[in-house]
Amino acid sequence: MAHLTDLSRVKKPLGTANGLPNAHYIDPAVFAEERDALLFGQWAGLAVAADVPEAGDAKPITFMGMPLLLLRDRNDQVRVFQNTCRHRGMILVEEPRKIEGAIRCPYHSWCYSTEGKLVSTPHVGGPGQNTHPDVDRSTLGLLEIRSHIWRDVVYVNVDGRAPEFEVAMKPLMERWAEFERPLYHGGADSKFVLSVKSNWKLAVENYCESYHLPWVHPGLNSYSRLEDHYNIEEYGAYSGQGTLVYRQLEGSNGAKFADFKDLDAKWDTAAEYLSVYPNVLLGVHRDHAFAIVLVPKGPEETEENIHLYYATPETDAELRAKNTEQWKVVFEEDIFVVEGMQRGRHGVNFDGGRFSPAMDGPTHCFHDWVAGKVSERRAMANAAE
């Protein structure tokens, strides 16, 4: 079977490899292939638990065309369901809202508990007859999607075939084991959304390398020079960059955020930024963290959901607002880059580009992972034929 793209040059060593072919950024057929291989087949970021802070909170999310429902159940467990009634396939929840009791389908009023159990099938056996021997409610609960929360990010494995989350993410979780502390979302002023006209992978690629910092974020040059950064490359797992000169933000009254407890002294001035494959971008510092969940809206459109976290439930409001603004400026500075690279991929003679052997390791690491997962998927499809 002919493959959609040739990935042989992507899998070469860093110094001689090409980047992913254009089709991986602009072709709907490859977008669909990557949906199965990279997003549904792995642990993909969907949202954050803070999106549903109270029991009964429900938020519908369309993820790669699939209608999902993020829900905090009565027992405070965050779950992800297919947002689809088991009766006639109607969408159950249209807008974010509080589920007071049960989820009632707006079509024929089949009702589900927040744990996903089918609890009512009105008139299913005829008017006023709400049971029927052929309709076994215990087999018709909402279809739950495998999910896992780490650092407040809700990850989903739609096809159910990925290794356990702790196994799949072991290298990353070990790297940041020191940061396994309670973290608190900063609230309404600590989140924002950026919509970019770009394939989601370009946001990953741009995020994980420091090569662009002095050119795209000149404001960082004053204290965070290129040589203060280091590459992070864990092939097959994650990549990113670190800095050795992190400086805490100070408020007008000299206030600073509290630190996460018991960190090694190296974190006094260090910070790290990792692309968690496929679509989550995380950052850690001694006194705050952030998560960016990339939700692809199409081959050339992505929603970036940014959330900031702190070590304590209460933080200084002025300082928090300043921190949000600071990061917003940085992430907005990246928009022209990812959108420019997207447009550049309509140049039919572009060959995927080349990498700086010294600076682009983290990006190559991601391309190598993409090529590997897509190739595995193609091999499975071939074997099935």
Residues that bind other proteins (CB under 8 A): 100-102, 104, 109, 111, 119-120, 122-123, 127-131, 137
Look-up: residue for tokens 């196994």? 167
Q: How many residues are there in the chain?
A: 385
Which residue's CB is nearer to other proteins, number 131 or number 382?
A: 131
Closest approach of other proteins to the CB of residue 112, in Å: 9
Of 267, 252, 281, 266, whose CA–CA distance to 311 is shortest? 267
Task: Cis check for the bond before 278: say yes or no (omega within 30 of 0).
Answer: yes
Q: Which amino acid is at 204?
A: V
Which residue's CB is nearer to other proteins, number 111 or number 173?
A: 111
Which residue's CB is nearer to other proteins, number 120 or number 375?
A: 120
Which residue's CB is nearer to other proteins, number 138 or number 222?
A: 138
Closest approach of other proteins to the CB of residue 123, in Å: 6
Closest approach of other proteins to the CB of residue 96, in Å: 16
Which residue's CB is nearer to other proteins, number 56 or number 251?
A: 56
Which residue's CB is nearer to other proteins, number 56 or number 67?
A: 56
Which residue's CB is nearer to other proteins, number 108 or number 212?
A: 108
Closest approach of other proteins to the CB of residue 137, in Å: 7
Closest approach of other proteins to the CB of residue 183, in Å: 32
Spatial neighbors of 310 by CB under 8 A, at least 6 apart, are 183, 184, 186, 257, 258, 287, 288, 289, 320
Which residue's CB is nearer to other proteins, number 113 or number 375?
A: 113
HSE-CB at 238 with a 13 A cutoff on CA atoms is 25
Closest approach of other proteins to the CB of residue 47, in Å: 24
Which residue's CB is nearer to other proteins, number 128 or number 254?
A: 128
How many other C-beta atoms lie within 10 A of the C-beta of residue 181? Answer: 13
3-state percent breakdown (helix, strand, coil) of the chain, nearest 5: 30, 25, 45
Which DSSP helix (H) or strand (E) runs through 31?
A: helix 28-34
Closest approach of other proteins to the CB of residue 89, in Å: 19
DSSP strands (E only) in the chain: 44-48, 57-63, 66-72, 78-82, 97-98, 103-104, 111-112, 118-120, 144-150, 153-157, 184-185, 191-196, 229-234, 238-243, 271-276, 280-284, 288-298, 301-310
Closest approach of other proteins to the CB of residue 61, in Å: 22
The CA distance from 109 to 94, in Å, is 15
Closest approach of other proteins to the CB of residue 121, in Å: 9
Find the Cα–Cα–Cα–Cα dihedral 366, 371, 372, 374, rounded to 10°. 120
Q: Are 313 and 252 in contact (CB under 8 A)?
A: no
The CA distance from 298 to 192, in Å, is 20
